[in-house]
Chains A and B, each alone.
Chain A
Amino acid sequence: MNIKKAIINLLIFQEPEKIENYILKETEEEQLQSNAKKDTNENVTKNKKNKRKSNNSENSDGNDREANKGVKISNDISKSLEYMKKVYSIPINGDVIIREFNVIIKDKAIEAFAIFIDGMIDKKVINEAILKPLMLLSTFDIKSNEKDIGNYIKDHLLPQTQLKVVRTYESVIDEVNFGGCGIFIDGIDLAFTADVKGWEHRSVERPNVELIIRGPQEGFTEVLRINTALIRKIIKNENLIVENITVGKKSKTPCGLLYIKDIANDALVNQVRKRLKSIKVDYIQDSGELEQYLEDNTFLNVPQIIDTERPDKVAMLLTEGKIAILMNGTPIALVMPSNLIELIKSPEDAYIRYPYANFLRIIRLLGMFFTLLLPGLYIAITNYHHEMIPTDLMLAIEASREKVPFPSIIELLILEVSFELIREAGIRVPGPIGPTLGIIGALILGQAAVAANIVSPILIIIVAVTGIGSFAVPSFSLGFGIRVSRFVFILLGAMAGFLGIATGLFINGLWLAAAKSFGIPFMVPFAPKVSKKNPDFILRKAIWRQEWRPDYLNVKRERNQPHISRGWVKK
């Protein structure tokens, strides 16, 4: 009976149970807007523009900060307490801690509270250097005639290196958000903020991407102050300026604008500062994002800002007269302005002897050339210019292609795409099996593809050289550009042989020659030609002959070293 019922239940239609599903509803404003759009279907474009504008202005809605701007601190501590609780949504916010206590000043007990965010502060410092002196040590007899409580506390009771006296809530909130401690005392219309940062961070490690053999092995970390210190450690000079600039309306990410005052061109510094300050965005996390906001041409196929994780490289470029931006939360520094030649340099070039350095430069250029053009040239030659190949090689290619069912362009694209696939997947493969996947992908796949007559063995060589070549480019960002561009050259080579590749190079050359990086032509010193006093372009000369800073930077001090820098050389 029961079984029969169960079977019938299975077969007959049953109304599904009503489960409350959650649907994110549009806000009222959006609904209103869409209604308005329906009403006024005519001149849509105008509407759009208006909408954008209105959106911009509406962005500030509900922004407490805007409302909070400039609110003075009240001298009634209960009001302050309430205000802070409201701002920080206490008690919903679990990690914001408000510690109320009493300060004894001149035999009077005054109410006070400290506010800080757990996890971002050093508890020991708060205990020892804020609470202890305020609560216990204030009873000591202090020989001072100070009457003002604010000054008294500042001068005698808070043994802190970085203590600020602030008058608005906004500045307290900013400090607390960035690992500070805010202290409110009853009866005075100001507050104290102490720098007690103590969050967890990575220590200084070896660079991950830009590895070199000879030279310092330190890389930037995520903490701005450690990074600036790493540079200060190299450039021990008071003329090195570290300007604090905050980017991001809500994230308030601290950035450091670094330059050497008596070398860098003021106009250039102003330009960088202006660009950096003009960025209006809510949140910004990484210098990669910042780079995209700062660069001149977003669509160019090469980067226009040098990004590096090496303090020594940043220091070297700063002494040349360039400008660096460090950002809290990212181990990559941005250095500007850049040009094409700057991107193929590695700091190691200066550390090793110059014949070796030039050898490496040539190898690197060769690697770039292979990555960019080798597949394209292969396609062009095998499809259009048969007479260019040595007869033996040509017959070998012909024999190996005999069983391949695809045209050579398809064959090449199959391999190139699968190589890019291996590369992209290899990054995301969990650590221990990463190298294994690389081997499987590269070796087994290639071998099997050849055995299955899908591709010819010569193509494996082409693609492998192309892949290896792309790793020889010192700038990871430029390597990306070349990797992407090579597909264009493959198509051009397939379409029109050498003519296509020449056209591609010509257009790309025009594009690069027209580009600028912070007002400096991207192809400098070749187009436009400038003074080549500093002989470190494609090849560099002996280090004692590099007497001048790059001409195109228009620096304040052009000479790098005197004519005779090796004092022991007698004239």
Chain B
Amino acid sequence: MGTFRMNRRHFLALSGAAGIGAAMSGGMSRAMAQSLSGASTAVLPSQAPTNWAAVLEKANAALQAEHGFTLNAEFINWGSYGQQALLKFTAGAQFDTALQALWLNMAQLQQDGALADLTGQIDKWPNLKAQIAPKLIEANTWNGKLWGIPQVNSAARVQHFTVRQDLAEKHGFGEITDYDTLERFFYTIKEKEDGVTPYSLVSNSHWIYAVPTPTAMFNQHSWENPYTMQYLFAGSGLRFLFAKDAAETGSSGPIPFWDDEGVIAALRKIRQYYNDGIVNADGMNVDRATIDSQFQTGRFASNWAMTDGSSSNQLAALQRNVPEARLGQVMPFGKPLTAVKPVQTFQADNMVVVNANGGDVDRALALQDWLSVKENHDLIEYGIEGTDWEAAGDDGIKQLSQYAFPGYALLWRSGLERRSSFMTESEKTIFDWAQNYDNFTADTFASFIPDVTPVREAAAAMNNVIIQHANPLFYGVADVDAQLDKLKSAADAAGLDVLQGEMEKQANAYLAARA
């Protein structure tokens, strides 16, 4: 193989071409931005933060001067966000962007052609491109097309436990790292801490306790083998697990979650915890906000956590009620983080999609680009500096007001997120780990998005079956064997074979396309 040596002329020619290219690309995005006008309406969950009017006024003055348009944020309460957002798409409402996700209605919206194709669009916006990792775009591309701008503050997300570290140390546990110790901690709390429930179950989070993604909270088998990812046709319904050797054999072999031994063991464990009072008995009815407020009053010894750096946010409120309280994180691996590379799909839990029916792609992307600049990002995400927050170190933040913007719905960027001054050391370690793509293994089916269209009726029927017959298992309120019989029989009647067959067909086609 010959060696290529770049002489001075080659170097100058290449530099010139690169310069012209960069100038053209910058010029193009500027020209595009300057031709924009009106208001970019973003449909967001949650409610307008306190002091939002002042923040929006400041943001719009800058946006208008820079891009010629303004931001119009339309907040919809979380309780009805899914339906309301879907209705907006259906009714042909005029808006640019909305929060969507696989756990909402994104697959349906894409399959119905309601989302604008954003393939290649990010390349036109330098600030946005600089903040979105190529791996993230690749992982969120479905069949070669990008349907939303992923909003993440870490590379991967793993559910785990936040525990009352003060209680752990009080009872001689120190740092909890494995499942057996965690279980002993639960039973010790039950025995010795009157009025404290060891763990809090919450409604609408059913499957996370038993079905691996790649681990499940009470699935000890998944702690030891964090290499399983579940897939389903739509945002909710029946979760399938694929064969571990699918990549080698080309055969996906999907099984419903109840055919996995680890899941069944987890369901039995949850039932045991329910009977023993380790978990709250009202898990099927109680919502996240209620549980969090109870956790903050010291009624629970552990709570659900995610590797998004937000678990420590509860500490300030908790310490107001329990001054000696401290928080620790228990990761579901039973070994050091350096010794494990769990599978991930790297698919974002939150996506900003552009409305194909009346949304302006350039304006939407211009807004995403503008929000990818640190100063603008800080303004919308954290409010007005000095009033709502003050910097703590280079990337830290001390909150001064109650300002809380749903950043995940519009402007989460890993590189721009500030760390709360309340973040514990253990969470910092986990957050750092979760931000690095190299700490994870891409799942064989990482960018597989099943199309529900051919089995829409069976999927709908199965969804009801899961709510009615599987949820009681996830919350431990029913006898496992009897309830499993009911679940299987109802699933058969709802068309399990149809769903399983279609999932296998589509997953095998995905494998064949990648081979």
- Decide if A and B are genuine partners: no
Binding site for B on A (CB under 8 A): none
Binding site for A on B (CB under 8 A): none
